[in-house]
Amino acid sequence: IKILLNRSSIKESLLPIHRYCRKGFYPGTTIQRQQINDDQVLWTMDLPNYNPSYYTHSSLINDTNEIDSEIISKNFMWNTFDTNYNVDRRTANPVGYYPIDKKGYPLNPLGRTGLCGRGELKRWAVNYQTHLVIMCGTNEIKSGQEIFKYIMEKPRYDDYYRIPSTSTTGTNMNAIKKTLQTFLSNIDRTWNDFDKNNETKIDDIIEHLTFVSTAYIGTIHFEIDFYLEHK
């Protein structure tokens, strides 16, 4: 996880940028990424032979209100709140903006990833995702403090446990709360006998959400033309 504090912190980070998403195959495919060395990631580094493969999942070809069209539209509003599609296309990290290439495609603000296209993400440029730290008490005390449990999930396609997350349209809390209403209901149905009273409980949880931080996360699903920002 890279929590972007300022421009210099990006360059001075001890962890290589995009280290999980510039080698090997795109997950679930036979599409090979063009390998990018640590010193070749930044767009300021000239790389004449950079010609990565293009990939967008077939389920994202037909655009809807929730999915951008595969062909870049002149109606897309970059680096701002896109009122044409009611989605926030601003980057939340201190880089401040993402560049647009000569063909009109948005570029990852932190550099190359070895692949073009959207992969499995719905939007060009910024894709926001909210992670939920859901905890409960255990009544167990250690060193004078109560021990809490928290929920993790393990996807079918890899071996990494992670905090439950869901896509949102931006960092606006109203958008996040609207998305979490359905998301939390689904979690509750999975683990409990769902009833009408639980709707009230979920509303109460949403009203008392605590924002922790915003971060840019490099994952194996990254491509040049889209990226995730996490809350």
Q: List, run by run, the mean pLDDT of 10-residue segments along the chain (231 residues).
A: 40 59 84 89 89 92 86 93 90 80 88 88 86 82 90 75 75 66 68 58 73 66 49 43
d(CA 123, CA 120): 9
* Pair (179, 104) in one structural domain: no
* Pair (49, 110) in one structural domain: yes
> How many C-beta atoms surround the C-beta of residue 30 within 10 A?
6
Number of domains forming the structure of the chain: 2
Q: What is the pLDDT, as a whole number, of residue 23?
A: 79
* Pair (120, 179) in one structural domain: no
Q: What is the pLDDT, as a whole number, of residue 199?
A: 63
Q: What is the pLDDT, as a whole number, of residue 189?
A: 65
Q: What is the pLDDT, as a whole number, of residue 70?
A: 92
138 in any annotated domain: no
* Pair (185, 219) in one structural domain: no
Q: What is the pLDDT, as a whole number, of residue 15?
A: 52
What residues make up the domain containing 32? Answer: 1-127+214-231
Residues 6+ apart with CB under 8 A from 37: none
* Pair (81, 183) in one structural domain: no
How many Cα atoms within 13 Å fall on the side-chain side of residue 213?
9
* Pair (123, 53) in one structural domain: yes
The structure's pTM equals 0.69
Q: What is the pLDDT, as a whole number, of residue 174?
A: 67
- Cα distances (Å, whole numbers) of residue 68 to 60, 112, 162: 8, 22, 27
> How many C-beta atoms surround the C-beta of residue 82 within 10 A?
21
Q: Under a CB-based contact definition with an 8 Å cutoff, are residues 100 and 78 in contact? A: yes
